[in-house]
Structure 1
Amino acid sequence: MADKQLMTYEVGEQMNLMALLKNVTVRVAKNGKQYLDLTFEDQSGEISGKFWDASAADIDRFQAGRVVRLAGKRETYQGSPQVRIAGLRLANADEPHQPGDFVVHAPMKASDMEEQINQVVFEITNQVWNRIVRFLLAKHRKAFFSYPAAKHNHHAFEGGLAFHTLSILRLAHSVVQQYSSIDAPLLYAGAILHDLGKVIELSGPVSTQYTVEGNLLGHISIVDGEIVSACNELKFDLNSENVVLLRHMILAHHGLMEYGSPVRPRLLEAEVLHQLDELDASIMMMTTAVEKTSPGEFGERLFAMDGRSFYRPNEPQAGGPAVK
């Protein structure tokens, strides 16, 4: 009989299954002993747990990216699912042990996302922006359609970067239909490229970490550099208005300097991109948190949402009122 998955266990239920160590942090408890703060992952989601009194051998053994056999009990701590670990060991050779088999995937196939994004590329009728977008998509194609959009928070799953990009493009289409004053090709080009630097900022979809470049430069600076490199390859004038406008779209998309943008939006399209980026990321964060929350309760506090927790209403019964 196959193991249940992480998020199919109920609170209070004993757990025994294979899972991926998504994140591992060594910490020191109040008693001075080291412990491991762990995040386990499989295709149903992720759950945290603490491995107390970790020895040097345990720290060496249980590293991010390794598959383990986990035994314990599902609990809830401050609104978040947690496992009280009773037993933990590395997967044996005759057990499922390929990390890629345990990661959460985007709700769309990579090929479908690529097809839909490529359709939008045809709508970028400005040839400078079109050629830069096509150049960079081709250069980073494999990573762009497999990487997550973040280590934590929003779209932190395989294919999350492309799925987040596609979601913003869908929102952009709706906004363009509502407001004829928006330069649609500029908005679409900025949307496709705005997070492309994450293919260098992040390590990949399995046990995602920030790279040296990611920590030191950040994805905004990285993708701006990629645009400059593309322009040099394509023989485009870096001082031309088309190039400057596109670079501003990227540099301003976090909206505020304290959030990582070196400049604030000074174009209509840049402000729209910032707002759509915020909207999609926020909805994904809230949805993920609420899905892990029991009806009638508040979920975990979301640091990226000003520390707020969100309520999950009692789910309605078929043909009847909400559960009381």
Structure 2
Amino acid sequence: MEIKNLQKGQPFLGYLFIKSQVTKTAANGSRYFNMKLTDTNFDEIDGKMWDVKEADEEEFITGKLVKIKGAVQEYNGHLQLIANRMRLANEGDDVNIDDFVECAPKNTNDMIKEINTTIDAFTNEDIKKLTKAIFEDKTSILSYFPAAKSNHHALKGGLLYHTYSMLQIGKSLTPLYPFLNADLLYSGIILHDIGKITEMESDENGSVSDYTEEGKLLGHIVTEIVEIDQYGQKLGISEEVLLLLKHMILSHHYEAEYGSPKKPMFPEAELLHHIDIIDARMNTMEKIQNSIEPGAFSEKIWGLDGIQLYRSKL
């Protein structure tokens, strides 16, 4: 059963992927699942399962493929799936979890090669040494890690794809502004979100179960600045390079309410912010646009400042 074809009141029997699952406590003290479920088209539907037991909480976690028997209901104008019975998919079922896991649209090895080639072409030895050391240490994790739990590039390999896409944007813009230091800009792109690896807990399918303690208390901007400092001291990187890169990480969200206490104060930092915004918003718009019909508007999208996205008929 495809999620896009579900209707209110319809019974459901089929396989879905638990993209996220949070266990909550109802007013009567019973426990229930609040889930995001996806199908092989990567369409999503909210799911609930009432009166769950402790064994259920241990078994039905984020990143699992399950067979659900239930019914489609409507709540606050949205369809949701109520799971009456649920079990894990097993080897006897004619399903493959890989079909339910959305992956980056570019080949992983090709993206890694492109980034490494970019780093190897740096002329500033300190920037090259620092960026290469951090990227090489994170490469295996980047092959599956998402860029977010639910917003832009929230898919397997999404963080690597976001970085790769930003590099392509950066490389198209730097020839227009020859006063820029390309090494510094590209290094900032490669490192700007790599701290998310310590911010979120993700399985090898790119499904984020929760934020880590460091993620909740510090966030990826702070953890990455600390990491740059640690690598820099170990590798003997110049203080100027470390200061510039740390400022780029610190300021790339631009606003204090989004985690940046400083705004960009030199051109490469300014451009990093705008490249990040371009790629994140285009990715979000693509995903939302693919879920609505031509000539229709989406619901208000928090990640896009509350706008209703329009899909043109062109």
TM-score relative to the length of structure 2:
0.87
The count of residues paired between Structure 1 and Structure 2 equals 307
Using the alignment, how far apart are the partners of 1:73 and 1:173 within structure 2? 50
Instruction: Provide the aligned C-alpha RMSD in A.
Output: 2.7
| Aligned position for 2:226 | 225
Deviating 4+ runs (over 6 angstroms): 29-33, 73-80
**3-state secondary structure, aligned to 1:90:** strand
CA drift at 1:62: 3.3
Cα deviation code 1:93-134 (max 9, x no counterpart): 322687666321000121011111122113321111111000
Paired AA for residue 225 in structure 1: V
| Aligned position for 1:156 | 154
CA contact 1:79–1:299 (8 Å) conserved in 2:
no
| Aligned position for 1:273 | 272
Using the alignment, how far apart are the partners of 2:74 and 2:42 within structure 1? 15
Using the alignment, how far apart are the partners of 2:162 and 2:240 within structure 1? 28
CA drift at 1:70: 2.6
Cα deviation code 1:132-175 (max 9, x no counterpart): 00000111111122200000110000110010001111111111
- Relative to structure 1, the CA distance from residue 236 to residue 313 in structure 2 (aligned partners, 3 Å threshold; closer, same or farther) is closer
Paired AA for residue 182 in structure 1: L
Using the alignment, how far apart are the partners of 1:222 and 1:11 within structure 2? 43
Using the alignment, how far apart are the partners of 2:174 and 2:162 within structure 1? 18
Q: 1:116 aligns with which of 103, 114, 117?
A: 114
Using the alignment, how far apart are the partners of 1:97 and 1:22 within structure 2? 17
CA contact 1:43–1:105 (8 Å) conserved in 2:
no
Using the alignment, how far apart are the partners of 2:287 and 2:59 within structure 1? 30
Paired AA for residue 66 in structure 1: K
Matches within 5 A, 1:278-289: 278-289=277-288
CA contact 2:200–2:208 (8 Å) conserved in 1:
no
Using the alignment, how far apart are the partners of 2:134 and 2:104 within structure 1? 22
CA contact 1:39–1:48 (8 Å) conserved in 2:
yes
CA drift at 1:200: 1.4
Paired AA for residue 139 in structure 1: D
CA drift at 1:304: 1.8
Paired AA for residue 149 in structure 1: A
Q: Which consecutive unaligned segments of at least 5 residues does structure 1 have?
A: 317-324
Q: 1:103 aligns with which of 98, 101, 109?
A: 101
| Aligned position for 2:5 | 10
Once the two structures are overlaid, the 10-residue window that deviates more, 114-123 or 11-20, is: 11-20
| Aligned position for 1:23 | 20
| Aligned position for 2:134 | 136
State percent identity of aligned pairs: 32
Q: Which consecutive unaligned segments of at least 5 residues does structure 2 have?
A: none
**3-state secondary structure, aligned to 1:106:** coil
